[in-house]
A and B are shown apart, each in its own frame.
Chain A
């Protein structure tokens, strides 16, 4: 019996366009920037596409908000090695901060969101600070517990609206502003982090993930690097939370809810961790799915969890990495 083996070969186009060598044809340029252009244009046009289905237009915003949280998860776990199981901490803090600024200090919306993003990120970094020198598992458990702690404290103290939350937050003046207020920052953060992780300082972050002892031996303060990383990640999460609070004109305990921790993780695992675009694709699949399943109640969470478990135990590489491979390489069966 003859045995076959799968062989993967780089496409000639990929080889030609690799590195800084000459790019000489439209075809090659398209090969390089085509997917990116398609992706950006597609996302920018999303609100227009869904013009026909007004209900789904909101879903676009929610999708992007989740995508942002997922990017922050991917950045922290796959580029710095800090697995944060509590994305809800970021969204909750961001949402409540913006609510406080907007309702109690009556800052206008274009001031309260950036302010909430910055101060929220600062706050998250501060509360996570003592957990940073810990081993991965402990950090993961702590982050899982923080959102629960905050929602319980708000409930117990009955402050910030207690279980009812803070209502009457200013909404966006125009539906299109509402769309692009999340789409543009999402794209910005996506490409900024992608750029960042390949810069020299980004390499230091990745070094912390691979071997933090060696980074320390290189004279770099690892805890400080982790502080920066958490700050960047919480910027994204807090912005997303602040945005959601303004979109629903309400900041409640549900901002600290499980959804914001679980869906981003599931999106990252499904979309492909370590690609940063993967989490976006993942949440673009999962969030609409959960809208479709809204009638089924909590069944959707069951589905997420089952899918997540399956992806983890099958050690799946994720959609994005699969697509990248198909794009750059072709496969053929060869005789052994």
Chain B
């Protein structure tokens, strides 16, 4: 029972982490390797707001934090990625370098140690089938599911969402139909980064804000997205459940160290066996040369 409940929580947490990354990739084909850095940044901004400005309300801080992260993401595209569009490896190196710069910059700026924590939304815990679960984790599950439903609706049933999907499927055709691909890419990076921020605010209250989280979040997101198939939201969900449960199982029977090993192995094995992932739509010819 413990495994089931914590498996579900962990899986939803993973899918929350990965949604931003998956969304950005599925719309603009940019592998946003600065994802983890944005995750930590939001947490840090909110921490600064509520601790350094006395009396700053927590909910407002959350909104501001998410907003700033979204803007940072959009700026990354506008200032950097726009110049190297389509050169995938340059995109990876550039976004990764930006991410590392942000993370190490935060570390240098004083984000060290265990003193950085965010308050939980609702304190306390509840007993579910004999397993103690704190309310924050329940919030994660509920908001996580809600976010997914919202995103699904947004992409499939709104005008902007359809435009975004159009871009994802055929950039050139979409451009001919008058959809500005750069604008949508900026938008997608903004939304994706805001999602990274949103997930961080849900998850960080469960632990500390540490720089290392940035790296592990990135790896988890990449693991989930690659296993599920880059660009497929459905695959992202399925993969996060697979990896989520695998992590909880290794956690239970081996040790916590294996969480990362599971994620890394998932990436490597998926890429070797079926690079387009479980739900990938890429053609056979595109993945192998």
Name A residues whose Cβ lies closer than 8 Å to a Cβ of B.
Answer: 83, 85, 130-131, 133-138, 140-142, 144-146, 148-149, 152-153, 155-156, 212-213, 222, 258, 262, 265, 296-299, 301-302, 304-306, 308-309, 312-315
Contacts and interface: CB of A to CB of B under 8 A. Distances in A.
B108 A298 contact: yes
B93 A149 contact: no
A75 B289 CA distance: 20
Given A134-B288, A136-B88, A298-B108, A305 B98 contact: yes
Given A85-B93, A156-B258, A312-B94, A148 B288 contact: no
Given A137-B31, A298-B104, A156 B261 contact: yes
A141 B222 contact: yes
B107 A298 contact: yes
Contacts of A142: 267-268, 271-272
Nearest to B269: A130
Chain A at the B interface: SS class: helix
Interface string B261-280: 10011011001100100000
Given A265-B93, A298-B107, A156 B286 contact: no
B128 to A, nearest CB: 30
6 contacts: A141-B271, A156-B257, A262-B97, A298-B105, A308-B93, A315-B84
Interface string B97-117: 110110011011000000000
A155 B256 CA distance: 11
Contacts of B80: 309, 313
Interface residues on B, range: 35 or more
Chain B at the A interface: SS class: helix
Interface in B22-60: 31
Contact of B268 (A133, A145, A258, A305): A145
Contacts of A299: 104-105, 108
Interface in B207-224: 219, 222
B157 interface: no
Contacts of A262: 97, 100
Given A140-B92, A309-B80, A312-B90, A302 B265 contact: no
A133 B97 CA distance: 26
Contact of A136 (B84, B89, B97, B258): B89
A134 B271 contact: yes
B232 to A, nearest CB: 16
Contacts of B159: none
B253 to A, nearest CB: 13
Pick from A83, A297, A309 the residue with the most CB of B within 10 Å: A309
A310 B164 CA distance: 29
Contact of A146 (B83, B94, B97, B268): B268
B87 to A, nearest CB: 9
Contacts of A155: 257
B127 interface: no
Contacts of A133: 288-289
A297 B110 CA distance: 11
